[in-house]
Copies of this chain bind each other. A is one copy, B any other.
Amino acid sequence: MLNESTQGVFTIAATPFLPDGALDFDSIDRLVDAYIEKGADGLTILGMMGEAGKLTAAESVSVVRRVTSRSAVPVIVGVSAPGFSAMTALSKEAMDAGSTGVMVAPPMGLQTDAQIVGYFHNTAEALGNIPFVLQDFPLATGVQISPSVVLKIVEDCPTCVVLKHEDWPGLEKITALRKASDTGSRRISILCGNGGMYLLEELLRGADGAMTGFGYPEMMRQVLDAFQAGDLERARDIFDAYMPMIRYEAQPGMGLAIRKHSLVRQGIIRHSTLRKPGAGLTAKTIAEIDALAARQTRRLSDLGL
């Protein structure tokens, strides 16, 4: 069960589609297998990157069931919704299907500290005893959550057990939260997003792992393993080898299309299709990705990877 000690690599999963936009269940199976093979300790599905908002309620349930039945590792389900009724309904389906917990991002439009705290009070109440991940992603939601607000939610809501940290800048926030839990606040797990852009610094600041997507998801595993083995220089070497691609994926609104392209190139999913309004990649973009991938392969090879 998801809890405050959760750590490691939780890979954010894409949702594969057929060229006509229908769910591609065969690719879902292969993707689950590949994520685990490449080192995932858990999977997070139906996040923003999973195009959750583009699925009907019925489709969301079918994805949850397929992934949970296939996966040998814990599955967290994104249940952010415009209202608590839809959130509760999907959460119940997720837990019934065997998920380990759910993830909730605040809706666009929240501004004051009190509004944000109030929203998560309502969330915790709506979810009952289901443990949840608080997704803190201001670049996408427009909602800025201060460290003191995170701590207030953690204090008030025992079922909030993980912070998906993707504030930007966010390193001082990790330090502030860790300092608070070192001096008496309840300590929850911090798993970092933002495509891994600051992964090493985040680990150095006290994060418990990664929860993000990347076209080559073994990156998170390799960096974390080297870091945990105490070989910081090797961790930096690996991290730097992936960095040009991490940076390229970081382009807002393009990351998912780039990742799907990379997953197709590696033979993991069949189609790079995004549902509308997601757009395809131009030839120039594809050429840029492929050039970065070729250099990445060379540099990793120099590192014995």
Copies in the complex: 4
Which B residue's beta carbon lies closest to that of A83?
A: B54
Closest 4 CB pairs of A and B: A53-B82, A54-B83, A169-B251, A111-B144
Residues of chain B lying within 8 A (CB to CB) of residue A126: 276
Q: Across the interface, do A172 and B282 meet the contact criterion of CB distance under 8 Å?
A: yes
Interface size on A, residues (CB 8 A): 59
**Interface of A (DSSP majority class):** helix
Which B residue's beta carbon lies closest to that of A140?
A: B109
The yes or no answer to A244 lying at the interface (CB within 8 A) is: yes
Interface members, chain A 262-281 (any B CB < 8 Å)? 275-277
Q: Across the interface, do B108 and A146 meet the contact criterion of CB distance under 8 Å?
A: no
Residues of A within 8 A of B (CB): 51, 53-59, 82-86, 89, 108-109, 111-115, 118-119, 122, 126, 144-146, 148-149, 168-169, 171-172, 175, 197-198, 201, 204-205, 236, 239-240, 243-244, 247-248, 251-254, 275-277, 282, 284-285, 288, 295
Which B residue's beta carbon lies closest to that of A197?
A: B247
CB-defined A-B contacts under 8 Å, sample of 19:
A55-B85, A84-B276, A108-B109, A112-B144, A112-B146, A113-B113, A113-B114, A113-B146, A122-B276, A169-B252, A171-B284, A172-B285, A198-B251, A204-B288, A240-B240, A240-B244, A240-B295, A243-B244, A243-B247
Residues of chain B lying within 8 A (CB to CB) of residue A275: 83-85
Q: Across the interface, do B171 and A285 meet the contact criterion of CB distance under 8 Å?
A: yes
What's the Cα separation between A197 and B248 when bound, in Å? 9
